[in-house]
Every structure is written in C-alpha cells, then in structure tokens.
Structure 1
Amino acid sequence: MRALLQRWLPGPATTNLSEQLRSAAGILLGLFIGALLCQQLLAASQLHISLIAPMGATAVLLFALPASPLAQPWAVIGGNVVSALVGVACVHWLGNSLNPALLGALAAALALGAMFALRCLHPPGGAVALITVIGGPAVQTAGYQFAMLTVLANSAMMVLLAILYNNLTGRRYPHTQQAHIANLHATRDEVPTVRLGFKPDDLDAVLKQYNQVLDISRDDLHALFMQTEQRAYQRRFGMLTCGDIMSRDIVSAEFGSCLEDAWRVMREHRLAALPVLNRADRVIGIITLADFLEYGGLNDIHGLNHQLKKFLRKSGITHTEKAEVVGQIMCKQATTVHIDTPIADLVPLMADSGLHHIPVIDHEQRFAGMVAQSDLIAALYERRLAEAVA
C-alpha cells in the first residue's frame, strides 16, 4: 500500500517560493481588479452578474501557468465564450426535455468538442458551459447576452490584466510560438545543431504517437530538450569555460578609430573581427570584414581594389554621408559571453547563429578577451582526445 501511495503522490515542486508568491499575488490582483472593472463595464446593461466562478480557474492558468497552451488569449477568450454559447444553446433547445444533470453533462461535452474544433481548449470552459445550465433563472434568462457580455468581458479583462502583470513580473505572456533559426546560407540544409541532434520532425512524430493533450507548447518542449542536451554536453566536456579557451592579448578599436587604421590593423594581424571598446573597456560593438564589404559597396568583384581604397580614404571634409570611423559601420548589438560561460553554450551561437568571433567580458562587464570558432574546435578536440586516451 505504501508503494502504491508513493506512485500516486506528485513529484516535488519545481517552482521556488518567490514564483509561488508571484502567482498568488497575480490571482489576487487579477480577480479583484477584474471584478471591479467588469462591474463598471456592465453597469449600464440589464445583467446583474459581473463575475462568474470559472474565472477563478482561469486566473490560476493565467497567473500560475502563463506558458501553458491552455492559458493563451485565444484559448481563454474563445474557450470560455464558445462554451457559454454551447451551454445557452443546450438550455434553449433541450432544456425542457432533458434531466438537468444530463443537460449539464451534455453541455460540457459539446463545449469540449467545440473547443477542440476551434483549437481553443480551456479547462474552465467546461465549468462555463455547466454554469449556464445550472446557474439559475438569472443566467438562463440572460441567455446569449450572458455569453456575449458577462463571459466575454470577464475573459477579455482577465487576459489584459495577465498580459500586464506577467510581463511586469518577468514572465513572457502571451507565450507565442518562437521563430526557428533560419539557415544563414539560404540553402536547404538545416542548421548544424539540428543536423546532429534530434529534429523537429522527430518531436512531431513522438507527439503524434503519444496522442494526448500536453500542458506545454511544442516550442517550449523543444527548448527544454535542447537545454537538456546542452547540460549533457557540459557534463561530457567538463566545465571548461570561455575564460579558459579565449585569446587574451587582443587588438581592439574605439568608436572614433578611422576605417583605414582599423582595416590596416585587421590585415596586419590577420583578423576577421575587432571588438570595439569604450574608455572603460566595455564592449560597445564589433566590426568584421563583412561590415567593410557591406558598407563599402564591395559586393561586386569588379573594381574591388579601387572601391576599397575609395571607401577607406578620408573625405577631408567635416560633413559627409560617407562613413569615416569604426562606430559608423560596426555592429552595435554585439553578442558577448561571460568568462564563466561553459564552452557548450558556444555551440548554438557559433554553429546556428553564424558567429565566428565573440567578445568575452569579466565580472565587471569589462572586455577580457575574444573566443573564436578555432578556439572552440581546439578545446572540443583536446577533450575528445583526452577521453580516447583515458
């Protein structure tokens, strides 16, 4: 019996006390403010119902499980309103011919079918359908007005408050599907990490075989698997960090460095990229050979030498539309990593995002070095060689 009970007991919670208190505060504010606003909104109508009980369940999903597919705006608004309409239709068409218990069960079942068909599955919708049947004369008399006024107002207000509260407290909502990384070379090949690991098609096939509703989106499930793989890489390759493999004696540029000097330095040191630092040694950008090609109009191979000299040469005038210094053509949104970042975190950045050189910053957010694809390859090779010898 003890073993049986242990199998039935839920596993330990994965959320800390701070997240639990954040969710509880959201439900408190959402239901209270939502009720007050709906009272004002529906004051001019003939309805005397400003808040329905299923909104308590909706609030749990919106504020405690904002990433759930069941808690997204269309699921909440569509699921509740469609369920209310189904319940009202059942009362109007079958109310006099069926037992109330059977009528309520039928309304909930039909509401579930409608939610499946419209892709707006929302568990509190079953309660909304039921309450339209057993909610008493006030609800039944209001009929379709109850669905299109009270239920719609309650659902829309709760969604708006959830958007505001969740985003203010650091939770992304709505939890829209994320765009997948595009192939930078515009070919039919998939990005490297997808070629080597499991593919989205594999996940789709498993989900289809599983054939059950999961309270997690496909994108979130894919992201969790990828993060799990990444942690496995970290364990396999040890805790080598960016600080262990980076180059420390690095040539850099400033915002006001002239283009000719930056080009000469890159050519002399055979560099493909230069970090751009301010006077506090903080990274403000990065300039690459690709930036020179793009801004210098050097994509056409004909007359390349002439165009390059023209682009690098100073104009000699104070006001010109031509780029004169590094800060005008550098990439201002430079991706950086911390010296304590495990090298496994570099794999998706360099393999999928196409980054060849990444500045490394220290604990004071100052520039500490540069890590290149060659550094990562050498580190992985050395670790693999050590494993083979062992």
Structure 2
Amino acid sequence: MRAFFESWLPSAPTANRREQLRASFGALCGILLTALLSQLLLQSTHAATFLVAPIGASSVLLFALPASPLAQPWSVIGGNVVSGLVGVACVHWFGDILPLPLLAGLACGGAIAAMFVARCLHPPGGAVALTAVIGGSVVQAAGYEFVLMTVLADSVLLVLMAVTYNNLTGRSYPHVQHAHVNPHATRDAVPTVRLGFKPEDLDAVLQQHNQVLDISRDDLESLFMQTEQRAYQRRFGIISCADIMSRDIVSAEFGTGLDDAWQQMRAHRVTCLPVLNRARRVIGIVTQTDFLDHGGLDDYRSIRQQLRRFLRKSGVTHTEKAEVVGQIMTQHPTTARTDTPIVDLVPLMADSGFHHIPIIDHEQRFVGIITQSDLVAALYESRFAEAAA
C-alpha cells in the first residue's frame, strides 16, 4: 500500500533549500508589487478588476522554473491574454445556449488549442479562460476589457518583476538558448557532437516521444552533454587544471606597448598574452588575432608594412591610433579555476573556439594558462593510461 501511494508522488526536487527560498521570496515580491502597481494603474479598488487569480500560478513558473519554455515572456503574456480572449468569446457566443460545464470545457480546450497555434503555451492560461467563464458578474460585464486591461496589465507587470528579480538573484531570464554554433561559420558540426549522440538523434527521440516537455530542447541537449562529461570523469578520474597548466607564463599589462607585446609573443613563440593588473588579476587577453583585426591586416601583399605602421608609436599624446595592449585586448576573458576538471574545458575549446584559457586561484589571481595542445595531450594520456591498464 505504501509503494502504491509513493508512486503518486513526484521525484524529490533537485533544487537545494536556498533555491527554494529564492523562488518563494520572488513570488512573494512579484505578486505584491504586481497587485500594488496594477491597482494603481487601473485605478480600481475591486480585487477582481485589478488582480486575477491565475497570475498566482504564473508566478510559480516565473520564479521557480524561470528556464521553462512555459515561463518565457511571450508564453506568459501571450498565453494569458490569448486564453482570456478565447474564454470571453465563448461566453459571448455560447453563454446563453450551452450549460456551464460544457462552456467551461470549451473555453479551456479552445484556449489550449489557441496557445499551441500562437506558440505561447502557458498552463495558467487555462485558468484565465475558466475565470472568464465563471468569474462572476464583474468579470463578465467587463468582457474583453477585462482581458485587455486586467489580464494584460497583471501579466506584463509580473514578467517585469521576474526579469528584475531573477537576474538580480543569479537566474538568467528570459532564458537564453545556447545552440551549438560552429565558430568557424562552416556547416560542420562542432567537435563535441561529432561523437556520441547527435542533435538529430535527440530530435528523432523527441518526435517519437510526442509530448510537451517542461524543458527546452537545447537545455535537454546540454544536460545530456554534461552527463557525458561526468561519466568521463568517473571513468578516467578527475584531472584538474592545476595538473596540466603552464605556470611560467609571459604576460602583459594594460599599458604595455604594442611593439613590446608583439616582440614578446614572437620571442617566446606564443600566440597570446594574458593581460594582468598589479594584483595579478586577469583583466584581458591579447592574441595575434587582435593585432590582425585592429591593424587592418587584411591584404597579405602589404601585411609587413601595415604591421610595422600599426606597431610604431605615433609620438603624440592624443591619437585615435591604438598604442598599448589595453586598447586592443579582449576584456573579461573566460577563465577557469585551478580545481576545475579539464573535461569542463572541452566544450569551451572544441565548440566555442577558445585556444587559451587563463587559470586563476581561489583569490582570483592569475597562476597559469591552458592551451588546446595542453588539453589534447592530457586527454590522450588519460586514454593511453586506461588502455595500458
């Protein structure tokens, strides 16, 4: 009997207590401010005319599941408004000829169909459609005005609250999808999806599954990729960045002259220089590509002359010409910590096109760098060691 009832329960939440409190407090603030601003905006004292109950359900999605496709701005605003319009239309067209149970079912079913067509599926939309049917004389008297004023205002205000709160508390909203894009702008798939499962495999399985999932396709693919990385760590052991990074690194400062930086890169046969401040914290990275891009070196026949002209100091105090590394470097480069497993760098270097990743310690100070060559060698050694065992 116990197993029977336990089968009714969903699996335990994966979010920790801090995330649960974050979502709960967000809903509190979101509904409170939405109600106050909506009441002020609509100049109303009757709760039914400035706050609709389904907004409470929307707050669950917006603050507890901000990455869900059902919680994105168009899903919330479009889903609630479209559903409300369907509900009001059902009352106007069939309210006098259909019994209430059938009218309620027609409104909810029609709302779901309309949301599918408009690509704004939002579960609370069904409640908005039902509210338009059974909401009482105040709602039915307002009709379409109820939807285009109250429902729209509540939805927009709650979305604005969610955008502000989620981003202030470390949750990106609206949720941005990160598709695998080849950095070289070719038709080849990025390296991490050339082996193992492929995007078309996932598409085929989702099509066969034929159900609406409360997670986007790109997020699902990302979870699978991260699962593969964890499985790799378990199989070959955890190798950290500190184990393979280069430590004796030539670096530059913001004010290092372009000519000096170029000469250092040439002398040490490296293709990048991390740019550090006096506290040895990474403020940028300058690569050969930066020199080429900023120097306008797009004509191979005159590249030597152009490079000399670009590196030569102008000799004046005010000039638009770049003079120091800080003017051409890539600011806020992607970094990794010394204890970061090297498998976490694979997507960055294989898919995103990074050739060098500066390594920092627990105090955010620069301690080394890992190149694509370092990573390839480490992965090869781990596979070789397993084969030998």
Aligned to 1:222: 221
- CA change 1:48–1:214 in 2 (3 A) is closer
Q: Distance in 2 between matches of 1:303 and 1:52?
A: 69
Aligned to 2:211: 212
Structure 1 residues 218-263: Cα deviation after superposition (integer angstroms, max 9, x where no partner): 2221222222222222223311111110111222222222233322
Question: Amino acid of the residue matched to residue 272 of structure 2?
Answer: A
Question: Amino acid of the residue matched to residue 335 of structure 2?
Answer: T
Q: Deviation of residue 105 (structure 1)?
A: 1.5
2:157 maps to 1:157: yes
Q: Deviation of residue 388 (structure 1)?
A: 0.3
Greater displacement, 301-310 / 46-55: 46-55
Normalised to the residue count of structure 1, the TM-score between the two structures is: 0.92
Question: Amino acid of the residue matched to residue 301 of structure 1?
Answer: Y
SS in 1 for 2:85: helix
Write the mapping of 1:194-205 to structure 2, written as runs, cut at 5 A: 194-205=193-204
Q: Is the 8 A contact 2:162 2:173 kept in 1?
A: yes
Question: Amino acid of the residue matched to residue 331 of structure 2?
Answer: K
Aligned to 1:290: 289
Aligned to 2:169: 169
2:25 maps to 1:4: no
Q: Distance in 1 between matches of 2:169 and 2:322?
A: 42
- CA change 1:235–1:59 in 2 (3 A) is same
SS in 2 for 1:186: coil
Q: Deviation of residue 134 (structure 1)?
A: 1.9
SS in 2 for 1:340: coil
- CA change 1:137–1:279 in 2 (3 A) is closer
Greater displacement, 186-195 / 257-266: 257-266
Aligned to 1:365: 364
Q: Is the 8 A contact 1:47 1:146 kept in 2?
A: no
Q: Is the 8 A contact 2:274 2:282 kept in 1?
A: yes
Q: Is the 8 A contact 1:237 1:380 kept in 2?
A: no
Aligned to 2:76: 76
Structure 1 residues 122-178: Cα deviation after superposition (integer angstroms, max 9, x where no partner): 112222222222222222222222222222222222222222222222222222434
Structure 1 residues 60-113: Cα deviation after superposition (integer angstroms, max 9, x where no partner): 222222222212222222222222222222222222222212211222111111
Write the mapping of 1:1-390 to structure 2, written as runs, cut at 5 A: 1-43=1-43, 49-178=49-178, 180-390=179-389
Normalised to the residue count of structure 2, the TM-score between the two structures is: 0.92
- CA change 1:34–1:325 in 2 (3 A) is closer
Question: Amino acid of the residue matched to residue 232 of structure 1?
Answer: A
Question: Amino acid of the residue matched to residue 53 of structure 1?
Answer: A
- CA change 1:2–1:263 in 2 (3 A) is same
Q: Distance in 2 between matches of 1:84 and 1:320?
A: 61
Q: Deviation of residue 279 (structure 1)?
A: 2.0
Q: Is the 8 A contact 1:77 1:155 kept in 2?
A: yes
Q: Is the 8 A contact 1:95 1:103 kept in 2?
A: yes
Greater displacement, 38-47 / 19-28: 38-47
Aligned positions, number: 389
Q: Is the 8 A contact 2:48 2:139 kept in 1?
A: no
- CA change 1:62–1:254 in 2 (3 A) is closer
Percent identity over the alignment is 68
- CA change 1:49–1:307 in 2 (3 A) is closer
Q: Distance in 1 between matches of 2:47 and 2:304?
A: 78
Q: Deviation of residue 45 (structure 1)?
A: 10
Greater displacement, 296-305 / 112-121: 296-305
Stretches of structure 2 lacking an aligned partner (at least 5 in a row): none
Structure 1 residues 260-308: Cα deviation after superposition (integer angstroms, max 9, x where no partner): 3322222222212222222222222222222222233333221333333
Structure 1 residues 183-216: Cα deviation after superposition (integer angstroms, max 9, x where no partner): 2323221211122243322222211111111111
Q: Is the 8 A contact 1:359 1:370 kept in 2?
A: yes
- Cα RMSD of the aligned pairs, angstroms, is 2.2
Q: Distance in 1 between matches of 2:34 and 2:311?
A: 61
Q: Deviation of residue 26 (structure 1)?
A: 2.0
Q: Is the 8 A contact 1:358 1:372 kept in 2?
A: yes
SS in 2 for 1:8: coil
- CA change 1:244–1:47 in 2 (3 A) is closer
SS in 2 for 1:253: coil
Question: Amino acid of the residue matched to residue 360 of structure 2?
Answer: I
Q: Is the 8 A contact 1:47 1:142 kept in 2?
A: no
Q: Deviation of residue 47 (structure 1)?
A: 9.5
